[in-house]
């Protein structure tokens, strides 16, 4: 009896030697002879912050850090204890990296200038410390979103420095704190996924060059708000229902986009009558996620069909409607909303 044919690993799953996040970033930097190693130190710092936050998230009830802080952030949203903790962890970990010029958090009114370009500040880092934190009390996956930009030493103001269109991002990614802790990153050469191995305290590569399916009959949107959507989005949803689409919506952006990135489909956050400019922040959420999705073969656009990463930010906390996901699914939405 012949031996059964060996099973092939799913596409993109790593079957070669174990590779840590730090080793992978060093490999990426080796592409560039002029690389100084400063970028890898930034990614290493983000991964350290992620490990600390992951531990806190898994013990929110035991440590008594559920609930509101009693203050509001610059967005006018009630801050939770874990929002403040995650923000402080990232600020403290990244604040010591000598290559970071500007550090900006979605929770803060203004970005912080750490050092000038002539002092070694080559990069700016923006982050949403704990997206979806209101879901913590029900153990839903939440996440950290980050983007890394180059610092222009000729621009004095921190806000003006970081208000760059998305296509100028050096890297972006997110950390999902769910059933496992997952770190997803792009440096402009594909999308790569790492999972935290708590036994060794390191993020290990589990998927290299992740690619989204070009189509999948799944949409992700808060359909309870559909009466307030522009007519084009309402027409798209009617069409999707008739075409047999499924709805998958968690209500935590990192978790929803992680599922869309892996399985395909489309994520929508349309404008509404109450929020005509949308609710997602261009610099802190829309641009980083759009960079990842495009690098994985998908597309991202605004409510009027423009490429998200071509928008010129006008202010630090600017909001934007967003449609991103599999190439064909975003195009289907575009036929109705343009």
Q: Are 267 and 249 in contact (CB under 8 A)?
A: no
Q: Does residue 269 sit in the same domain as residue 243? A: yes
- CATH number for the domain harbouring residue 34: 3.30.540.10
Residue 281 has pLDDT above 70, yes or no: yes
Q: How far apart are CA 112 and CA 240, in angstroms?
A: 44
98 and 143 co-located in one domain: yes
234/240 Cα distance (integer angstroms): 10
- The pLDDT of 72-84, averaged and rounded, is 71
Q: What is the mean pLDDT of residues 111-125?
A: 88
| pLDDT band, residue 259 (cuts 50/70/90) | very high
Of 174, 207, 240, the residue at which a domain comes to its end is 207
- H helices of the chain, where? 21-29, 38-58, 81-95, 158-162, 231-242, 253-263, 287-295, 327-337
Mean pLDDT score of the chain, rounded to an integer? 90
pLDDT digits (tens, 9 = 90+) for 60-71: 777 766 656 555
> What pLDDT, on the 0 to 100 scale, is given for residue 43?
95
Q: Is residue 212 part of a domain?
A: no
- Range with the lowest mean pLDDT among 41-45, 80-84, 320-324, 329-333? 80-84
Q: Which residue carries 């047999």 as its tokens?
A: 244
Domain match, 67 and 137 both: yes
CB–CB of 187/180 below 8 Å? Answer: no
Domain that holds residue 123: 21-207
Between 60-69, 135-144, 180-189, the lowest mean confidence (pLDDT) is in 60-69
Q: Is 5 within a domain?
A: no
CA distance 120 to 100: 8
Domain final position from 207, 230, 261 = 207
Asked if residue 81 and residue 187 are part of one domain, the reply reads yes
Contacts of 6 (CB under 8 A, 6+ apart): none
Q: Please indicate, yes or no, whether residues 63 and 180 belong to a single structural domain of this protein.
A: yes
Task: Please check whether residues 94 and 238 belong to one and the same domain.
Answer: no
Segment 15-20 shows an average pLDDT of 76
My answer on whether 230 and 136 are in the same domain is no
Query: Cβ(183)–Cβ(203) under 8 Å?
Result: yes
Do 135 and 45 share a structural domain? yes
Would residue 3 count as lying in a domain?
no
How do strand 266-269 and strand 218-220 relate by DSSP bridges? parallel
Whether 156 maps to a domain, the answer reads yes
Residue 331 falls inside a structural domain: yes
Inter-residue contact 267 to 257 (CB < 8 Å):
yes
pLDDT exceeds 90 at position 127:
yes
189 and 53 share a domain? yes
Residue 166 lies in a domain: yes
Same domain? For 284 and 173 the reply is: no
- Alpha-carbon span 148 to 171, nearest angstrom: 5
- Cα(178)–Cα(207) distance, rounded to whole angstroms? 17
CATH of residue 226:
3.40.190.80
How far apart CA 323 and CA 218 sit, in angstroms, is 13
148 falls within a domain: yes
In a domain, 91, yes or no: yes
Is pTM beyond 0.85? Reply is yes
- Same domain assignment for residues 264 and 202: no
Domain count, the chain: 2
35-39, 40-44, 254-258, 334-338: segment of lowest average pLDDT: 35-39
Q: Domain boundary residue among 157, 187, 207?
A: 207
Whether 203 and 223 map to the same domain: the answer is no
């Amino acid at each position: 009896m012949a031996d059964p044919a060996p099973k092939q690993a799913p596409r993109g799953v790593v079957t070669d030697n174990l590779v840590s996040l730090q080793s992978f970033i060093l490999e990426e930097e080796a592409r560039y002879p002029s690389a100084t190693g400063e970028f890898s130190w930034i990614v290493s710092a983000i991964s350290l912050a992620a490990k600390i936050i992951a531990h806190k998230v898994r013990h929110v009830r035991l440590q008594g850090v559920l609930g509101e802080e009693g203050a509001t952030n610059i967005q006018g949203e009630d801050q939770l204890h874990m929002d403040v903790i995650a923000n402080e962890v990232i600020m403290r970990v990244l604040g010591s990296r000598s290559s970071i010029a500007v550090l900006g958090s979605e929770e803060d009114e203004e970005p912080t200038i750490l050092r000038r370009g002539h002092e070694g500040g080559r990069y700016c880092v923006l982050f949403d410390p704990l997206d979806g934190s209101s879901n913590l009390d029900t153990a839903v996956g939440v996440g950290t979103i980050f983007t890394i930009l180059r610092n222009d030493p000729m621009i004095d103001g921190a806000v003006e420095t970081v208000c760059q269109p998305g296509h100028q991002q050096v890297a972006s990614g997110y950390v999902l704190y769910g059933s496992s802790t997952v770190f997803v990153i792009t440096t402009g050469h594909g999308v790569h996924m790492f999972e935290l191995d708590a036994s060794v305290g390191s993020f290990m590569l589990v998927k290299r060059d992740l690619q989204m399916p070009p189509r999948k009959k799944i949409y992700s949107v808060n359909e309870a708000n559909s009466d307030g959507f522009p007519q084009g989005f309402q027409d798209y949803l009617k069409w999707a229902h008739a075409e047999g689409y499924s709805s998958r919506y968690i209500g935590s952006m990192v978790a929803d986009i992680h599922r869309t990135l892996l399985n395909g489909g489309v994520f929508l956050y349309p404008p509404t009558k109450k929020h005509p400019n949308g609710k997602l922040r261009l610099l802190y959420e829309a641009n980083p996620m759009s960079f990842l999705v495009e690098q994985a073969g998908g597309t991202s656009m605004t409510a009027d069909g423009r490429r998200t990463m071509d928008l010129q930010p006008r202010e630090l906390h600017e909001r934007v409607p967003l449609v991103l996901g599999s190439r064909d699914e975003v195009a289907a939405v575009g036929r109705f909303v343009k």
